[in-house]
Structure 1
Amino acid sequence: MCAVDELVERVDDQDRVLGVVSRRQAIREGWLHRIAVTVCRDEHGRILVHRRSEHLSRFPGLHEVVVGGAVNVGESYEQAAARELAEELGVRVLPRLLFTFLNHSGLSPHWLGVHEAVVPDTVAADPDEVAWHGWLTEPDLRSALLEWCFTPDSHEAFSRYLEFRTARS
């Protein structure tokens, strides 16, 4: 489970490590730190969407297009993404880092490492983190993003994810 007071690496605007701080302090002070997220697809290309548990301190009850959390001290983006998938969905896969960007949406500015992974369509979501989950096609997800309440990171990360995939084609 993701705790707001975990230790993270404070980084600069080039994503270089400056030191170790608590995540709570990084958020409060607006210091850059790292977050790793994964867009999860099933073998049919559908995208996993989930709703955050109501008791979470950050964005309770909002939907997300990505699964992830803070990059711990000494972890790579890929290691953090894999750890978060195991913790939140019970899935053990190696996500592929697609890109990073300086994200200004959310509680505070942070570097966001966006990954992609193909995961089984049956996941064991942690009820402390995930209140609901389902699989949507891209067109259905585009509609949901306009109708449902999503986290700020979801909009930005998914938009950039689609741009990345279009540029690769």
Structure 2
Amino acid sequence: MGELVERVDDQDRVLGVVERGEAVRQGWLYRMAMVLCRDAKGRYLVHRRPETGSRFPGQYSWLVAGAVGVGESYEEAARRELREELGVDAPVRPLFTFLCDGELSPYWFAVHEAVVEEAEIAPDASEIAWHGWLTGDRLREAMASRPFVSDSRDAYARYLALDSTGSPGSGVRTD
């Protein structure tokens, strides 16, 4: 049996437990947790997926991500993904959640932020082929010139629309 997730409705209410692969095939909503990582200097961690990966081979992302497990909160899933993909155990801060019409399937997308340092990172090679730190301006340039996972682009546009308190607003975040 594959990974189990909670099937949810358009209000993010649990409808039942399903296999993630089935949710994707049927276009059923489920939950995903994402983490954007920054260092003490405010730079963003960017990574490239392995060319041999089953999802988004060779594409870049500025988020580590994974499905929320049955009975797991968004925050718990975000911390788990941070440990699994980067080998880092750090607190995460929720930023925003939105209904994403994902490239593979639709899902609720909860974005969190964590502060991590390079010395703490031990990336899982099956998930991350390369990683590096970019300033906000360099991240903006990379988004315009490199193949980023489409769902991470969607989250990036929403992130830029946050105001300085981390709430949805009309301001543009600059670094």
Return the alpha-carbon distance in structure 1 between the equivalents of residues 62 and 115 of structure 2.
14
Amino acid at match of 2:143: L
In the other structure, the counterpart of 2:85 is 88
In the other structure, the counterpart of 2:38 is 41
Amino acid at match of 2:20: R
Give how far 1:56 is off.
Answer: 1.9
In the other structure, the counterpart of 2:145 is 147
- The one of 65, 73, 76 equivalent to 2:73 is 76
SS at match of 1:130: coil
Amino acid at match of 1:133: H
Amino acid at match of 1:65: W
- The one of 131, 134, 139 equivalent to 2:132 is 134
With normalisation by structure 2, the TM-score equals: 0.91
Return the alpha-carbon distance in structure 2 between the equivalents of residues 166 and 146 of structure 1.
23
Amino acid at match of 1:40: C
Unaligned runs of 5+ in 1: none
- Between the two proteins, the alignment pairs up a number of residues equal to 166
In the other structure, the counterpart of 1:112 is 109
Return the alpha-carbon distance in structure 2 between the equivalents of residues 136 and 6 of structure 1.
33
Amino acid at match of 2:112: H
SS at match of 1:48: strand
Return the alpha-carbon distance in structure 2 between the equivalents of residues 167 and 103 of structure 1.
23
Return the alpha-carbon distance in structure 2 between the equivalents of residues 163 and 39 of structure 1.
15
Give how far 1:105 is off.
Answer: 2.8
In the other structure, the counterpart of 2:94 is 97
Indicate the RMSD between aligned Cα atoms, in angstroms.
1.5
In the other structure, the counterpart of 1:54 is 51
Amino acid at match of 2:156: F
Unaligned runs of 5+ in 2: none
- The one of 3, 8, 22 equivalent to 1:6 is 3
Structure 1: which 4+ aligned runs deviate by more than 3 Å? 165-169
Give how far 1:166 is off.
Answer: 4.6
SS at match of 2:56: coil
SS at match of 2:99: strand
Amino acid at match of 1:163: A
Identity of aligned residues (%): 58
Amino acid at match of 1:36: A
Return the alpha-carbon distance in structure 2 between the equivalents of residues 57 and 165 of structure 1.
35
